[in-house]
């Protein structure tokens, strides 16, 4: 039933993503326009939409890549044994989300679930996040370094909530204090044993 993916198709898709990456690298995510992408890829506009449902489809690809890269880095870290260590360990994620307003917007919009078209790559990243944070928290809790009166998953989602809040403020506040600094007190109040 399912057609074998044609090599030509893969090549075109790759050309489009490469072109997009180049443009984003030069001018930022906000400047990404389908017109430029197809021009650089040397394809017609219509072809773009044969490969991506819409522009967001491409954007989500690029952003999911970034988020997954950040998460890869975090998973390579030793599990944090304290709230402060956790805070430090969140840095790749905070840096990625803070880099461009659109990253955060898309992450918010698609984090929840998968649209009708299945996983966008962001939702599964969010799940990875929760799983990782929960593992970290459970581990620290087992060592008596964090609270264990709540399911680690709930605490993990709470960490996400505070991170999101922090990043949101980062984008509308005039003063650009370090997001991690702002996040610290919340994580302590949320995760420390009291």
Partner DNA sequence: TATGAATGAGCGTTCATTCAT
Partner DNA sequence: TATGAATGAACGCTCATTCAT
Report, in Å, the least distance between residue 30 CB and DNA. 9
d(CA 117, CA 106): 16
Residue with tokens 């984090």: 111
C-beta separation of 17 from 58 below 8 A = yes
Q: Minimal CA–CA distance to 150: which of 160, 138, 159, 162? A: 138
Site string for its own copies, 121-140 (x = CB under 8 A): --x-----------------
Residue with tokens 């990456």: 21
* Closer of 81 and 184 to its own copies (Cβ): 184
Is residue 34 part of the contact set for its own copies (CB under 8 A)?
no
Site string for DNA, 22-61 (x = CB under 7 A): ----------xxxx------xxxxxxxxxx-xxxx-----
Is residue 115 part of the contact set for its own copies (CB under 8 A)?
yes
131: exposed, middle or buried (Cβ count in 10 Å: 0-12, 13-18, 19+)? middle
How many residues in the shown chain lie near DNA by CB under 7 A?
Answer: 26
Q: Which residues bind its own copies (CB under 8 A)?
A: 108-115, 123, 147, 149-150, 154-155, 157-158, 160-162, 164-165, 168-175, 185-186, 189-190, 194
């Amino acid at each position: 039933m399912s057609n074998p993916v044609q090599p030509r198709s893969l090549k075109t898709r790759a050309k489009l993503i490469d072109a997009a990456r180049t443009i984003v690298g030069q001018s930022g995510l906000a400047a990404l326009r389908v017109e430029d992408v197809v021009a650089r890829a040397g394809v017609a506009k219509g072809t773009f939409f044969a490969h991506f449902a819409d522009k967001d489809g491409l954007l989500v690809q690029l952003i999911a890549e970034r988020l997954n890269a950040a998460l890869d880095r975090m998973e390579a870290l030793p599990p944090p044994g304290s709230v402060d260590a956790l805070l430090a360990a969140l840095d790749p994620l905070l840096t990625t989300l803070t880099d461009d307003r659109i990253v955060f917007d898309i992450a918010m919009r698609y984090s929840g679930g998968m649209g009708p078209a299945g996983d966008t790559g962001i939702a599964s990243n969010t799940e990875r996040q929760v799983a990782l944070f929960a593992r970290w928290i459970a581990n620290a809790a087992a060592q008596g370094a964090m609270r264990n009166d709540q399911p680690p998953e709930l605490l993990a989602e709470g960490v996400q909530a505070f991170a999101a809040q922090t990043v949101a403020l980062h984008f509308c506040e005039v003063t650009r204090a370090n997001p991690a600094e702002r996040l610290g007190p919340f994580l302590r109040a949320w995760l420390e044993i009291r």
